[in-house]
A and B are shown apart, each in its own frame.
Chain A
Amino acid sequence: MLNVGQLNEGFVLDHIEAGKAMEIYNKLGLGLLDCQVAIIKNARSNKMGKKDIIKIEGGLDLVDLDALGFIDHSITVNVIKDGEIVEKKTLSLPKEITNIIFCNNPRCITSIEQGLKHVFFLADEEKQVYRCKYCEEKYNR
């Protein structure tokens, strides 16, 4: 069993699908953080067989939980204080996401308007469909 140092203050992104940790690391911009970040790949899991885990030292404001919910809302977020889990957060699909994904429709105003944020809204929660706020084009994951 591999041991990674215990967190005193921070949070753990748990139940990440095995192999997806680096994608999340990159999409959340964790490489830009100045604090300690640990990535554990292929950890044993009763529920999932194997899973990835990311441990981050510091406050929850360091990551965009909406972005994380969009990437994989089955991830759990464990908040750690004084070395203990004080809260388990479950994620949901965010109603709206900004500048996390980008509209590929060449007919969309986002393709030419300077400085316009790319905003997508959750059009169908069951089918996990997001559409561009401006042109309503479906985002294909």
Chain B
Amino acid sequence: MKHLLSPLDLSLEELDNLLDLARDISHNPDKYSKRCEGKKLATLFYEPSTRTRLSFEAAMLNLGGSVLGFSSANSSSASKGESVADTIRVISCYADIAAMRHPKEGAPMVAASVSRIPVINAGDGGHQHPTQTLTDLMTIRELGGSLNNFTIGLCGDLKFGRTVHSLISSLVRYSNIKFVLISPKELRIPDYIRDDVLKANNCDFVEVESLDEVMPELDFLYMTRVQRERFFSEDEYLRMKGFYVLDKAKMAMAKESMYVLHPLPRVNEISVEVDDDPRAAYFKQAKYGVYVRMALILTLLGLDK
């Protein structure tokens, strides 16, 4: 039984195949519109996440399948004290594949260990969010033509942002990627990413505080949101929240070929005036998220061929 718990569960070859399939789906959606007829996706969302849940549901519906599930712990048996293991054992009787979001880190791994159907981690606390990483990789690959030879800027909350950590861990497997890590001192990447991932893989990286000075060299700029819940004081949050705002003036310093990515939702870190810039790729990225989830569902169900 194949599951997806971490982006690194996939070998480079499997990842290539998955992204090729996602590309084919994006070019020929009709070809896949009945591929999952009669199949059911269970969306087990123990905490609210409109975006990810709807993306999964859209993916399954686009494939001709159907969806069932819950969108908060309160509307599941978890509120009665049922364990994750028991829940997935029961859901295995109802559905063919499950996507699980849970506030506790490692919950999807527990589910996968007893499940009779493939389990996809749709986000477990601050730990992993592999389908966001697949979305990011597909966006870079589709817009840049490959996953090699880029200078990628990651900007904002690099300390707590799990999407950033997963993306770095995935991109170090490709060649000639230079990372420009842009953050205030307080929100720099954790030591284990710097030492165990970047340095351990001999990656080229710099850590800077100023976005302006590095804008001209970037091929991609991955913006992130500063999350209120990570801070002890409101003042500190407000100071960090306003640290980086990408606006037209900053975009004017960037290459014509640079793209801006963001896992969304954004707050104020990308000014709405940037949305009309052809280099603003974050809504396109959300679209790629559906294709890559379609490819993942097909692959895990063995319907990709």
Contacts and interface: CB of A to CB of B under 8 A. Distances in A.
Interface stretch (B51-59, B97-105, B138-146): B97-105
A131 B202 CA distance: 23
Most buried by B among A108, A110, A133: A108
Interface magnitude class on chain A: 20 to 34
B125 interface: yes
Q: Is the interface of B mostly helix, strand, loop or mixed?
A: mixed
A74 to B, nearest CB: 25
Listed from nearest, the 4 A-B pairs whose CB atoms lie closest are: A134-B106, A135-B105, A109-B106, A109-B104
A123 B103 CA distance: 24
A133 B106 contact: yes
Interface of B: 83-85, 102-107, 109-110, 124-127, 192, 196
B139 to A, nearest CB: 26
B259 to A, nearest CB: 30
B83 A107 contact: no
Contacts of A124: 196
Query: Interface majority SS on A: helix, strand, loop or mixed?
Result: loop
Interface of A: 105, 107-116, 123-124, 132-138
B291 to A, nearest CB: 29
Contact of B103 (A107, A133, A137): A107
Nearest to B82: A114
A116 B83 CA distance: 10
A136 B127 contact: yes
Contact of B102 (A109, A111, A133): A109
Contacts of B192: 138
Contact of A134 (B83, B85, B103, B110): B110
A134 B109 contact: yes
A116 B85 CA distance: 9
Contacts of A107: 103-105, 125-127
A113 B110 contact: yes
Contact of B84 (A108, A111, A113, A135): A113
Given A114-B83, A124-B196, A138-B192, A109 B107 contact: yes
B83 A108 contact: no
Nearest to B6: A136
Contact of B125 (A114, A116, A135, A138): A135
